[in-house]
Amino acid sequence: MADFCLTLICPPTVEEKLLDVLLAQADGEVFTSTPTHSHGSGQQRLSATEQVMGRSRAMQINVLLTTEELGQLRDLLQRDFAGTGVRYWATPLAFEGEFS
């Protein structure tokens, strides 16, 4: 059973690469990706249009992981995505399952 939900917010420039890495690591597990907007991003990362709008396009990805998997994936992403603007946080899960 998963212990954490890892949420990743990534800019469009690395979206496909990040999804490819997660698909390779998923081992048959399901994760979700949803187009979203990021607010409060550093101004140096925003285009002129995004600065006027006050938001930037992004992809939100949620992955359910055990404590061990979370550590391993975090290390991998730190190595491969340092400096790309990918943000993350992990929240503990109270429960998870599938309605059958």
**In a domain? residue 82:** yes
Question: pLDDT by residue (tens digit) across 3-18?
Answer: 999 999 999 999 999 9
The yes-or-no verdict on residue 67 having pLDDT over 80 is: yes
Q: Domain of residue 38: give its range.
A: 4-92
The answer to whether 2 touches 64, Cβ cutoff 8 Å, is yes
**In a domain? residue 32:** yes
Q: What is the CATH number of the domain that holds 32?
A: 3.30.70.120
Tell me the average pLDDT across 63-78.
96
**In a domain? residue 31:** yes
Residue type, 9: I
Mean pLDDT, all residues of the chain:
88
**In a domain? residue 36:** yes
pTM (2 d.p.): 0.85
Give the span between the Cα atoms of 86 and 61, in whole angstroms: 11
Q: How many domains does the chain have?
A: 1
The yes-or-no verdict on residue 86 having pLDDT over 90 is: yes
